A and B are shown apart, each in its own frame.
Chain A
Amino acid sequence: MHQIALSIPLVAVAILAATAIAAAVLGRNDRASLMVGSLGALVASGLGLVGAVLALATRAEVERAAAWALPLGSIRVGLDSLTAFFLFCIFLIAGLAALYGIGYLRGQQRRLAPAVVGFNLLVAAMVLVVLARDAVFFLLAWEVMSIASYFLVTFESERDSVRRAGTTYLIATHIGVLVLFALFGLLGRGAGSFAFADLARTGSRAGPHLCFILAVIGFGTKAGFWPLHFWLPDAHPAAPSHVSAVMSGVMIKMGIYGLLRVVSFLGPPPAWWGALLVLVGAISGIAGVVHALAQHDLKRLLAYHSVENIGIITLGIGVGLLGRAHGNPAVATLGYAGALLHVLNHGLFKGLLFQGAGSVLHGAGTRHLESLGGLSRRMPTTAATFLVGAVAICGLPPLNGFVSEWLIYLGAFRGGTDLPARAIGAVVVALVALALIGGLAAACFVKAFGVVFLGEARSEGARHAHESGLAMRAAMIAGAIACLAIGLFPAGAINLVAGAAAELGGTAVRPSSGALASISALAGLLLALVGGLALLRMALLRSRPVERGTTWGCGYPHPSPRMQYTAASFADPILAPFAAVLHIRTHAHLPEGMFPTAAHFDKHVGDMAGERVLVPAWRTFLHTALRLKVIQHGRMQLYLVYVLVTLVGLLLWQMGGALGG
């Protein structure tokens, strides 16, 4: 049975690879290429979901090695509860994105084959990343994933900003891989092999602290930990929307998977690992949402929210590690369960939101917030599903985001009670950060949803927007239903992560079924009350005058769409407390004198990590490197002297060593 569960995802990978090749061969026929590729992705996703559920249900623990050897390693794949859970996420979200892609790509005015081939390769590579049980094979799959996504990011390569985003992404992802090489090199040196089973046996002797730091940096670059996220807000919006959904929804979670996998090799964690991850999570979460508030581009805003949600996931992992370090499996399991469930939940609602943003771009021709407005009347399905995603991403009941954040809260509260006083600082940071992130995320999504879908259209494009096609709407409705289902029946969703969380946390503790039943009951009651009150209002208004008028404008009878509150104005007071740390540039030409002429005001919030950390760090590095120029004169004689001095120095050192020894 376990072998079958392992074979199914491998068959799915084969289907994905085969249809990718077929789509490439059919490249000149856009329609055929799109259909073959998307059909392959859909079939593979459906099959893979069955396999993942089978693996989760049978608690499959199995490993298999191929007869082929890789240089230094071997092709070794395996299944356990962590892998099975991530397979579930990949196949579910990729399947929805593939369905959406059929409709989304059809309207594009360029060759579709690169997008189709890249998409299928990306999904196949992610499946192999989580199946891999050998570091060399893992890195190989990781590289394929990065390169496939690079070609997807640069799909609209005629745009300059897209090419630049692609290059940044390629550089960032390879800096991350470089660190991963060092990490697995260190681990493998101790183990004498790169098989994960060997690494796990000897990991605790291979300098676990250094390995942990390397893993946080290497995998954090992929996941988008602040300030390693710098590529993310450029790359995710550049890709076609269904690809953004997969990249934000699951690809960055491969960093989370890698971190969890490698930390499991390193033996019992010390407390500071947990504290560090809580801090990283809190900073990523708050910085992510504050930057998201400042964005005017819908997809860029969503990309910053990925940084925020990775922060929430990291907070959960940090609470989990704290629990492990202090020997409290209950805290650990709750933290890990919340983090893992948030991986799935974020995939679902972020996929849904990116698809919604794609529909807006498709229907209104722009994703600039200040040119949108009033789309809910012309795009009702997109508006309703986007609203579901927005409420879910804010962690509000009765949707799925609440369940995973609730688990992390529960772990943190329990940590506050059970952990020793010196650990409580980190726990309190987690609690306060989660609360603040929740409040700011709600502000940001009220802004995004309100400015895009409500009020009056701010441009011609928005005025004549049209709803998306059937495939796109079906994918968004399915995503919204999944968000609602997890919110209404959290007990079922927790079964998906229970195995992996128990393995990581060290025990099978789970929140009492009574609490989960209460959440279900209240979610149901909330919906029933909403329905009941709606009926009550209908009954009250039935026999009374209901009129339509203009919006109250303090007596002014002719309001225009330009008089609406803008996204920038909405965000301004919320950003004010953070103004000291944000990188805000203002260009203003204000009205002057008795007869003011044309005036303009322009405010731009740059990325704090880029402007305040990375650029200064690069400048310092360059400055130091330039100092070394004094030894470079270009004269051969001088270099010969250097060689001589080095040789004599080495000789002296050797002699000293010999004498001393």
Chain B
Amino acid sequence: MADPGSIALHLGLLLLVPPLLPGLIAKTKAVASGRQGPPVLQPYRDIWKLLGKGAVYSQTTTWIFRAGPIVTLAAAICAGLLTPLVGPAAPLGFAGDVVLFAYLLALGRFFTMAAALDTGSSFEGMGASREAAFSALAEPTLFLVLAILCIPAGSPSFAAAFTALPWQTWIAAHPPLIAATVALFVVLLAESSRIPVDDPDTHLELTMIHEVMVLDHGGPDFAFLLYGSAIKLFLFASLLVHILVPVPAGLPGLPVFGAGVVAVAIVVGIVESITARLRLVRVPQFLIGASVVAMLGLLILVFRGTL
């Protein structure tokens, strides 16, 4: 994946498609509840409008508050250069890129949480605390999924993992991959603050997680945050697509990839329509449950040969 054409395609997808996903999810939810809902392209308009606004900064805040959205977006874009989109390889992928992927997203989260604490608001502190708790529990699940993908491939890189996946047989013969899919879907829901972990549409600060951390951000800062979290959702969705279907490199892969990402967004929308948000004390159980599923998948993977 070194030719300029595929790099341009990757960059184009990475930078232009992500805001589509929250729009699709909102549309799915609207349709499911019999409303017309906002247009699918509404998030683009939101981001554009925010980029054109001024800003109000709290007197309490310092440069950390201003750095938060910037670092979060920069880290998400860097992670996007490691994630395969069309075709199994990414422009900057290397042996060991899966670890950097996870830690880049963690870096973005670190700065979002620090920016929240910089406001001195107890609501934002509360949101940061919840985000820290839940993301710490989601981290082992993500690494178990990565282990299921990378151990058979022989190298901790997305390119090796997605090239080595046995698509001819997998639904019938690969319970580990089913476990990985389920667990990764839960990680996606948790990392992108979706129901049942967090409700992006709630209007009560006390019940929010991600939204309450960014209460004080406005204008371009908030645009960066919205864009960054859309990219994060997009990256997890594309990982799921790559586990579920083979995506050929280059333009032939584009329809497969596009359909897959849209399907993931619609499934998220359906899940949001048919489930309620968990009580906050139940969320850790949900996340630990996902890691148990992934652990089972890994055990089957390792011991299937020996049984």
Q: Which residues of chain A have a CB within 8 Å of any CB of chain B?
A: 373-374, 376-377, 387, 391, 394-397, 402, 405-406, 409-410, 413-414, 416-418, 421, 424, 428, 431-432, 434-436, 438-440, 442-443, 445-447, 449-451, 453-456, 511-512, 514-515, 518-519, 521-522, 525-526, 529-530, 533-534, 536-537, 540-541, 544-554, 559, 561, 563-565, 569-574, 576-577
Contact A391 B136 (CB under 8 A): no
Interface residues of B in 115-164 (CB under 8 A from A): 117-126, 128-130, 132-133, 135-140, 142-144, 147, 150-156
CA distance A545 to B82 in the complex (A): 37
* B61 vs chain A, min Cβ distance (A): 8
CB-contact partner of A522 in B100, B118, B125, B305, under 8 A: B100
Contact B56 A547 (CB under 8 A): yes
Contact B106 A541 (CB under 8 A): no
CB-contact partner of A416 in B66, B81, B99, B147, under 8 A: B147
* B202 vs chain A, min Cβ distance (A): 14
Q: A456-B120, A548-B59 are in contact. List 12 more A-B contacts (CB 8 A).
A: A424-B151, A432-B144, A445-B110, A514-B95, A522-B78, A534-B66, A541-B220, A546-B56, A549-B57, A563-B122, A565-B121, A577-B137
**Quick one: given A421-B306, A431-B143, A565-B122, are A515 and B94 in contact (CB under 8 Å)?**
yes
Chain A contacts of B118 at CB under 8 A?
A: 450, 454-455
Chain B contacts of A549 at CB under 8 A?
A: 56-59
Contact A540 B51 (CB under 8 A): yes
Contact A564 B120 (CB under 8 A): yes
Query: What are 16 A-B contacts with C-beta separation under 8 Å?
Result: A394-B110, A418-B154, A421-B306, A428-B295, A431-B147, A439-B137, A442-B110, A443-B136, A454-B118, A549-B58, A552-B215, A554-B205, A563-B122, A565-B125, A573-B130, A574-B133
Contact B117 A561 (CB under 8 A): no
* A127 vs chain B, min Cβ distance (A): 35
Contact B125 A569 (CB under 8 A): yes
Contact A545 B54 (CB under 8 A): yes
Interface residues of B in 18-67 (CB under 8 A from A): 51-64, 66-67
Chain A residue nearest to B122 (CB atoms) is A565
CB-contact partner of B303 in A421, A561, A569, under 8 A: A421
CB-contact partner of B70 in A410, A446, A533, under 8 A: A533
Binds A, one of B6-14, B167-175, B249-257, B280-288: B280-288
**Quick one: given A541-B220, A564-B122, A573-B130, are A410 and B99 in contact (CB under 8 Å)?**
yes
* A422 vs chain B, min Cβ distance (A): 8
Which 6 pairs from chain A and chain B are nearest by CB? A565-B125, A450-B117, A439-B136, A443-B132, A455-B120, A544-B54
Q: Which residues of chain B have a CB within 8 Å of any CB of chain A?
A: 51-64, 66-67, 70-71, 73-75, 77-78, 81-82, 92-97, 99-100, 102-104, 106-107, 109-110, 113-114, 117-126, 128-130, 132-133, 135-140, 142-144, 147, 150-156, 205, 215-216, 219-221, 224, 280-281, 284, 288, 291, 295, 298, 302-303, 305-306
CA distance A534 to B295 in the complex (A): 41
Contact B302 A438 (CB under 8 A): no
Contact B281 A576 (CB under 8 A): yes
CA distance A263 to B61 in the complex (A): 52
Instruction: Count contacts between A and B, CB distance < 8 Å.
Output: 276
Chain A residue nearest to B283 (CB atoms) is A573
Contact B151 A526 (CB under 8 A): no
**Quick one: given A563-B122, A565-B126, are A525 and B81 in contact (CB under 8 Å)?**
yes
Contact B104 A397 (CB under 8 A): yes
**Quick one: given A439-B135, A454-B117, are A544 and B75 in contact (CB under 8 Å)?**
no
Chain B contacts of A377 at CB under 8 A?
A: 62
Contact B140 A410 (CB under 8 A): no
CB-contact partner of A446 in B62, B128, B291, under 8 A: B128
Chain B residue nearest to A436 (CB atoms) is B140
**Quick one: given A432-B140, A570-B125, are A552 and B216 in contact (CB under 8 Å)?**
yes
CA distance A442 to B103 in the complex (A): 11
**Quick one: given A395-B103, A410-B99, A541-B220, are A416 and B151 in contact (CB under 8 Å)?**
yes
Contact A442 B73 (CB under 8 A): no
Chain B contacts of A421 at CB under 8 A?
A: 302-303, 305-306
Chain B contacts of A449 at CB under 8 A?
A: 114, 117
Contact B74 A406 (CB under 8 A): no
Chain A contacts of B55 at CB under 8 A?
A: 541, 544, 546-547
Contact B114 A396 (CB under 8 A): no
**Quick one: given A548-B58, A564-B120, are A512 and B95 in contact (CB under 8 Å)?**
yes
Contact A406 B99 (CB under 8 A): yes
Chain A contacts of B114 at CB under 8 A?
A: 387, 446, 449-450, 454
Contact B70 A428 (CB under 8 A): no
**Quick one: given A451-B117, A544-B55, are A574 and B125 in contact (CB under 8 Å)?**
no
**Quick one: given A455-B120, A515-B96, A551-B216, are A450 and B113 in contact (CB under 8 Å)?**
yes
CA distance A547 to B58 in the complex (A): 8
CA distance A373 to B59 in the complex (A): 14
**Quick one: given A450-B113, A565-B122, are A428 and B64 in contact (CB under 8 Å)?**
no
Chain B residue nearest to A416 (CB atoms) is B151
Contact B280 A573 (CB under 8 A): yes
CA distance A554 to B122 in the complex (A): 10
Chain A residue nearest to B118 (CB atoms) is A454
**Quick one: given A443-B133, A450-B113, are A514 and B64 in contact (CB under 8 Å)?**
no
Contact A576 B106 (CB under 8 A): no
Chain A contacts of B221 at CB under 8 A?
A: 537
**Quick one: given A549-B58, A554-B205, A576-B133, are A397 and B100 in contact (CB under 8 Å)?**
yes
CA distance A571 to B55 in the complex (A): 31
Contact A442 B95 (CB under 8 A): no
Contact B126 A442 (CB under 8 A): no
Contact B302 A436 (CB under 8 A): no
CA distance A71 to B128 in the complex (A): 60
CA distance A50 to B34 in the complex (A): 74
Contact A551 B60 (CB under 8 A): yes
Chain B contacts of A431 at CB under 8 A?
A: 143-144, 147
Contact A396 B92 (CB under 8 A): no
Contact A529 B280 (CB under 8 A): no
Chain B contacts of A545 at CB under 8 A?
A: 54
**Quick one: given A376-B64, A540-B220, are A435 and B73 in contact (CB under 8 Å)?**
no
Chain B contacts of A576 at CB under 8 A?
A: 133, 281, 284
Chain B contacts of A574 at CB under 8 A?
A: 129, 132-133, 136
CB-contact partner of A570 in B53, B93, B128, B151, under 8 A: B128
CB-contact partner of A529 in B74, B106, B138, B205, under 8 A: B74
Contact B288 A577 (CB under 8 A): yes
CA distance A511 to B99 in the complex (A): 14
Chain A contacts of B291 at CB under 8 A?
A: 432
Chain A contacts of B77 at CB under 8 A?
A: 529
Chain B contacts of A534 at CB under 8 A?
A: 66-67, 70
CA distance A522 to B81 in the complex (A): 9
CB-contact partner of A450 in B109, B128, B152, under 8 A: B128
Chain A contacts of B156 at CB under 8 A?
A: 409-410, 413-414
Contact B64 A519 (CB under 8 A): no
* A68 vs chain B, min Cβ distance (A): 50
CA distance A436 to B303 in the complex (A): 24
Chain B residue nearest to A543 (CB atoms) is B54
Chain B contacts of A451 at CB under 8 A?
A: 117
Chain A contacts of B298 at CB under 8 A?
A: 428
* A447 vs chain B, min Cβ distance (A): 8
Chain A contacts of B154 at CB under 8 A?
A: 417-418
**Quick one: given A377-B62, A397-B103, A436-B140, are A406 and B78 in contact (CB under 8 Å)?**
no
CA distance A317 to B210 in the complex (A): 38
Contact A544 B95 (CB under 8 A): no
* B112 vs chain A, min Cβ distance (A): 9
**Quick one: given A421-B306, A518-B92, are A547 and B129 in contact (CB under 8 Å)?**
no
Which of A435, A451, A453, A518 has the most chain B CB atoms inside 10 A of its CB?
A435
Contact B100 A526 (CB under 8 A): no
Which of B63, B129, B216 has the most chain A CB atoms inside 10 A of its CB?
B129
Contact B107 A396 (CB under 8 A): yes
Contact A533 B73 (CB under 8 A): yes
